[in-house]
Structure 1
Amino acid sequence: MEMTFPASFRDLPPKWAHFCLGIERFMRKELGVAPEDLQVLCAFSGGADSTALLLALHCLSLKNGGRVCAAHLDHGLRPKSDEDVLWCRQLCGQLNIPFQTERTDVAAEADASGRGIEETARVVRYKFLKQARSAEKLDWIATGHHLGDLSEDVVMRLVRGTGWPGLSGMPGVDRERSLMRPLLLTEKKTLCAFLETLGVSWREDETNADESMKRNRIRHTLMPLMLEENPNFPDSVARLWRLGRIDADYWLMQMNEATAGDLLSSAVLEEAHKALRLRLYKKYLDAVGSGQALADTLLKLDEAWLETRFGAVFQFPGDRVAKISPKGVLFGFKD
């Protein structure tokens, strides 16, 4: 099929103009990101998801102004990855979109760090994107995560034992990292149809079939079973995501009114419902340092506070501790 890039937003077929406007509404209403004069870096792997994202952002920039750039990280994991780089560079050239690329030996990085391949790839990818955004003086990084990715993420979080509202899946926007996911509630089949209409191909990553990676195992084993039981499972995930964002915003407001310093005071705890107390414990721990605070330990901490077991100390990953005192719960590092 011949590529038919629109010269202006009005040149888009009506169906796909509405598609782009839907992404614009999602950015504005759900993510709180104004699409006008948007300065954005597209994480561009060359796959269908990121290619559709790049085209959609390009079309919206024709309508709203702003600037779109693209960045591609070659993980050095596949023999033909250099062909992906060339393909991405050529597409960006046709669209007159600035393009950055870099090659990293992810396997060597994983060996040196002791992390798995998936985690290492994620860490180096976001480090590269952060540097690329800064170099181009852009406001946001946009990634092509879609509703299928969100569904897989919810299942993975369920398997890990994630609590609510984190169980509703990855956020659509992360302001601390200047990161947004404009396609998060869009189905992949819609993205592919968008590209096919414009006559744009994409690259297929054969490592997506490698079931030694956890996400691929979820995708190829659990997800088909979920869809067999409930074909509308992605729609359910989209509703769950929206409810989770509402609840997360509510609890953030409650915690912001109650947090300061390293002492969570008895006055605050005595007025708080247990649901709020547990979230406050976690927020104070996160302020001390990184590490996963297990729900069982948080529950034991709350039980100790209710029983006024002054002097009791609870340890958390990252050498963090919480100590019960007459004044409240004191958070810090292990001596």
Structure 2
Amino acid sequence: MERFLKRYHVDFIGKKILVALSGGPDSTALAVILSLLKKRCSLNIEALYLNHGLREEAFQEELFIQNFAERWKFKLHILRTNIGLLAKKTHRGIEETGRNMRYFILKQFAQKRDCNLIALGHHLNDLAEDVLIRMLRGASWPALGGMDVYLKEDKIVRPLLFLSKDEIKSFLKMLNQNFCIDKSNFQLDTLRNRVRHTILPLFCKENPSFLKNIFRLWQAAKIDRHDWQAKIENLKPKIFENKIEIDREELELFLPGERMRIFSQCLKQLGPGQVLFDNVMKLEELFSARKVGKRVEFPGNKLVLLNNDTVSFLKG
């Protein structure tokens, strides 16, 4: 894990890290590994467990996690929320509400505790699920490559992204370290669970190296994003808090395929929200037709405006 983080330029040596701890095998292994690296890498480890108030067994998990933190000697924080009530008030789904609240609380708590990084337990199987879901939703390249290992602005890092679920469980078994099982992860009422338990196993059955191939795809996408980010910086765009603006004359120097990559990368810079191929294609068609005053909307509350002299990428 140390080599993996260094390879992708994650500055974690001597840092204070907040682990998003659920008690499942992924976050449990993450907390253990970081604890083992604590002395070697001069780390200060804290963990946050969020009880969403959705499962009765969550209170038993709290007890397990308290004992777990004592064993591995890191500071533990437990917060309780009522996601069900919040979902009703906001008229959103339980899964979406829980995810949004989880990230919001983690960021706020990390800031409060002066943590340099927020460590999440996503692993290679999660990455494969993410790629398949993006494919189902029509994501364009390189967004199709899946989640990032490091989101610098949000201080989020995913140190286990190169490890499979089986490798993580084998590691915990070797240490005789137990973990919790969230039964809701086996319910097929959400897309991610259906992909996890029905679609992904079929791919792995057809090709036992499927997860390795997903990691290669992820590596290729990361290289591609890096290269196109360099091209965008050479364009010298005007960057504001929630806006990126590029001169149309500069964009006209590129071929359509290259321009679509630039559009995708600018949208990616504005934050969460998958960059769908159909939307990018529509934007390119409008640009090539020299349309002015047109707008194209994207997931994540993003908007692109085609002005007389510029193309504006907006967030919010």
> TM-score if structure 1 supplies the norm length?
0.84
Structure 1 segment 12-31 matched on structure 2, within 5 A: 23-30=1-8
Q: Residue 305 of structure 2 aligns to which amino acid in structure 1?
A: A
Structure 1 segment 1-335 matched on structure 2, within 5 A: 23-30=1-8, 32-258=9-235, 259-260=237-238, 263-282=245-264, 294-309=276-291, 311-316=292-297, 318=301, 320=303, 322-325=305-308, 327-329=309-311
Query: How has the CA–CA distance of structure 1 residues 290 and 63 changed in structure 2, closer, same or farther, with 3 Å as cutoff?
Result: closer
C-alpha displacement of 1:319: 8.4
2:143–2:274: 8 Å Cα contact kept in structure 1? no
1:268, 1:110 → 2: CA distance?
45
Greater share of residues in helix: 1
Query: How has the CA–CA distance of structure 1 residues 270 and 140 changed in structure 2, closer, same or farther, with 3 Å as cutoff?
Result: same
Query: How has the CA–CA distance of structure 1 residues 25 and 118 changed in structure 2, closer, same or farther, with 3 Å as cutoff?
Result: same
1:263, 1:194 → 2: CA distance?
48
Cα offsets for 1:153-196 (capped at 9, x unmatched)? 11111111111111111101111110000000101222112212
1:291, 1:124 → 2: CA distance?
16
Give structure 2 stretches of 5+ with no counterpart: none
1:36–1:65: 8 Å Cα contact kept in structure 2? yes
CA RMSD of aligned residues (A): 2.4
1:308–1:324: 8 Å Cα contact kept in structure 2? no
C-alpha displacement of 1:330: 5.3
C-alpha displacement of 1:292: 6.1
> TM-score if structure 2 supplies the norm length?
0.89
C-alpha displacement of 1:146: 0.8
Query: How has the CA–CA distance of structure 1 residues 48 and 284 changed in structure 2, closer, same or farther, with 3 Å as cutoff?
Result: closer
2:122–2:161: 8 Å Cα contact kept in structure 1? yes
Give structure 1 stretches of 5+ with no counterpart: 1-22
C-alpha displacement of 1:214: 1.3
2:158, 2:271 → 1: CA distance?
26
Q: Percent identity?
A: 33
Query: How has the CA–CA distance of structure 1 residues 321 and 252 changed in structure 2, closer, same or farther, with 3 Å as cutoff?
Result: closer
2:138, 2:13 → 1: CA distance?
39
How many residues end up aligned between the 2 structures?
Answer: 308
Tell me the SS of whatever aligns to 1:102.
Answer: strand
Query: How has the CA–CA distance of structure 1 residues 263 and 60 changed in structure 2, closer, same or farther, with 3 Å as cutoff?
Result: closer
1:290, 1:33 → 2: CA distance?
20
1:288–1:320: 8 Å Cα contact kept in structure 2? no
Cα offsets for 1:116-146 (capped at 9, x unmatched)? 1111111111122112212321100101111
